[in-house]
A and B are shown apart, each in its own frame.
Chain A
Amino acid sequence: MANIVIDRIRKAFGAFEALKEVSLTINDGEFVSLLGPSGCGKTTLLRIIAGLETATAGDIRIGDRSIIGLPPKERGLAMVFQNYAVFPHMTVYENVAFGLRMQKADEARVKKQVEKAAGLLHIEPYLDRYPNKLSGGQRQRVAVARALAVEPKVLLMDEPLSNLDALLRLEMRTELKTVLQAAGTTTIYVTHDQTEAMGLSDRIAVMHGGVVEQVGDPVEIYNHPATRFVGGFIGNPPMNFITVPVERGHVAAGAEQLSVPQGAGDSVVLGLRGEAVALVPREAGLEMQVRVAEPMGSHLLLTGSIQGQPARVVLPPSEAVRSGDVIGLRPDRNRITWLSPESGKSYPPSAA
């Protein structure tokens, strides 16, 4: 069993708190992405799990065994470093073989594993070369191959595909997923790229300013963000947030009356995905002033304002809306997220 329990981990660098009580459980064989803006503590968390950084407080267990005091080599995991850390004085072959050599694997197994990993990452042509002569993307793949070659129970990857072109990234992503799933590897995958996180992950943990804001499967996170930050960070265009007045437990959207969750005060934030609306006559829905209409081929992107607040919505390409129009929008009731204007947190969906 290689489930990982991250239990109230805190990390301070001097006076600066990089991680403020991060808790996260990753099941055996699960693929969890850490997604968040630059500087939110993703690398720090991975380094603490790997044992390269000491946590200020908290515990980490792998398979119900606390590993917090163990040196990295006894934690039995593999890692892809954000800056690759591919050894410059070894050939690509020896780099990929490094972990196996440390395990004193016999030559036949080393060869087999290296060739397998190299094949997967398309680096066979470079096996005899030194990393110095490789491109950033090639080096990055060497780093991934080095981690895969040891067939770890737990794999930590810090933006392992960030330097590849879009096409190769898509291909590598699919192959990684297939291999890791087949091997039942418990994986923590750090990325900036939300489509990557959505496509690969069993669950996503969205981090912000040293805390995990939400953990959930991709669809849940997309449709029901726990905080304003998550809604704004995930999805393209980001979720719209419109602060609206509440009257007798309802919000008026043109002719529609939307009931708001209990506990909401005089006003509430209406969180609405750009594509969770339908075009209706102006007075029948929420009124939107369209500033720019961009026909994108697959859809029509409208930028403008609703009740004086910036908004962006997506309509089918066939709708005839032009820049400067004023339109009516009817929100899809099941896809509304209500948030508190004070805390920025969403009300539980069931309470609506």
Chain B
Amino acid sequence: MTNDRPWLPYALILPSVAFLALLFVVPLVQTVWLALSENGAPSLANIRTMAGDINFARSVQNTFLLALAVIPVQIAIALAMGTLVSKIGAGRETILWIWTIPLGISDLAAGMVWLAILQNTGYLNSLLFGLGLIERQTAWLTYQTPVALFIGIAIAEIWRGTAIVMVIIVAGLNQVPKEFREAAEVFGAGPWTRFWRITLPLIRPALQSALILRTVLAFEVFAVVYALGGRNFPVLVGEAYAWQNQNQNYGVAAAYAVLIMVISLAATLVYLKIVKVDPERLP
């Protein structure tokens, strides 16, 4: 790095920052203004309408619960898959490719796939019926079965979103030379110790990226939920969509959008603080 010109890196990223500002900050300011104004004057009316809506509390709760249920499972599965695939020699690429197929499917299509499995006349019921476990078609995705609905949506989300986490984690694992694990092994560390004390700390940067990305995406969850539960399972983006299209109330929709953004930014900040990456401690 050039130490005598510390401003140089900043100068180099300036164009991209300016570009982002133009295409991101302007609409952002417009949205925030839309949320925090009424008839051209500053007002909290939209926020009040949003907070007073019967679906508001449930959509916040559902979104957070879903994120809380889905993210840890996805990270755990991705770590397991990444570790497994790193032990494989031949056929590694093929396995990675198969595992990333859900990535190539749009989230609405993913929702449809799981709808085909979980709906009344779906594959799950057929299977359970065939095995003699149920006597007639069971509804999983209704207002009366919130737990089943939640689990169904969580599974669909895990299925759809784990691959992206895994790709990031595999990239992180590839950066860790095998000698570190080998040295630990020679000095008496078992597989579990090696994972916790060597591998995990060394893939911190990848883990941080994966967590941030996954969390932001989790708060934006919509299409899968919409396909499986409609408004039986209200989530934040779903509410924004409903206010925008059904109620034609752009102000309240904007209020939801701002809320989602604030939550995402806060989560990112938390990760940056908790999963700290100290460049001094990297290979």
A in complex with B: yes
Q: Which residues of A contact B (CB under 8 A)?
A: 50-52, 71-73, 77-79, 81, 83, 85, 87-89, 98-99, 102-103, 130, 132-133, 146, 150
Interface of chain B, helix or strand or loop or mixed?
Answer: helix
- Contacting residue for A102 out of B177, B182, B187, B282, CB 8 A: B187
Q: Which residues of B contact A (CB under 8 A)?
A: 177, 179-180, 182-190, 193, 198, 201-202, 204, 279-283
Give Cα distance in the complex from A73 to B191, angstroms.
10
**Top 7 closest pairs, chain A to chain B, by CB:** A102-B188, A85-B179, A85-B183, A99-B187, A89-B281, A89-B201, A88-B283
Q: Which of B180, B183, B184, B185 has the most CB of A within 10 A?
A: B183
Are B188's CB and A73's CB within 8 A? Answer: yes
A52 vs chain B, min Cβ distance (A) = 5
Are B280's CB and A73's CB within 8 A? Answer: no
Give Cα distance in the complex from A133 to B279, angstroms.
11
Give Cα distance in the complex from A73 to B177, angstroms.
19
Are A132's CB and B187's CB within 8 A? Answer: no
User: In the complex, what residues of A have CB within 8 A of residue B183's CB?
Assistant: 79, 81, 85, 87
Give Cα distance in the complex from A133 to B187, angstroms.
24
Give Cα distance in the complex from A81 to B183, angstroms.
8
User: In the complex, what residues of A have CB within 8 A of residue B198's CB?
Assistant: 87
Give Cα distance in the complex from A130 to B184, angstroms.
17
Are B186's CB and A130's CB within 8 A? Answer: no
Interface of chain A, helix or strand or loop or mixed?
Answer: mixed
Give Cα distance in the complex from A81 to B178, angstroms.
12
Are A78's CB and B179's CB within 8 A? Answer: no
Given A51-B186, A79-B183, 20 further pairs, Cβ under 8 A = A52-B182, A52-B186, A71-B185, A72-B186, A73-B188, A73-B189, A78-B186, A78-B187, A81-B183, A87-B180, A88-B202, A88-B281, A88-B282, A98-B187, A99-B188, A102-B187, A102-B188, A132-B281, A132-B282, A132-B283
User: In the complex, what residues of B have CB within 8 A of residue A52's CB?
Assistant: 182, 185-186
Residue of A with least CB distance to B190:
A73
A-B residue pairs in contact (CB < 8 Å), sample of 27: A51-B185, A73-B187, A73-B188, A78-B187, A79-B183, A79-B186, A81-B179, A81-B183, A83-B179, A85-B179, A85-B182, A85-B183, A87-B180, A87-B198, A88-B180, A89-B201, A89-B281, A89-B282, A98-B184, A98-B187, A99-B188, A102-B188, A102-B189, A132-B279, A132-B280, A133-B280, A150-B187
User: In the complex, what residues of A have CB within 8 A of residue B187's CB?
Assistant: 73, 78, 98-99, 102, 146, 150
User: In the complex, what residues of A have CB within 8 A of residue B177's CB?
Assistant: 83, 85
Residue of B with least CB distance to A91:
B281
Give Cα distance in the complex from A13 to B204, angstroms.
33
Give Cα distance in the complex from A71 to B180, angstroms.
16
Are B190's CB and A72's CB within 8 A? Answer: no
Residue of A with least CB distance to B188:
A102
Residue of B with least CB distance to A104:
B188
Give Cα distance in the complex from A132 to B280, angstroms.
6
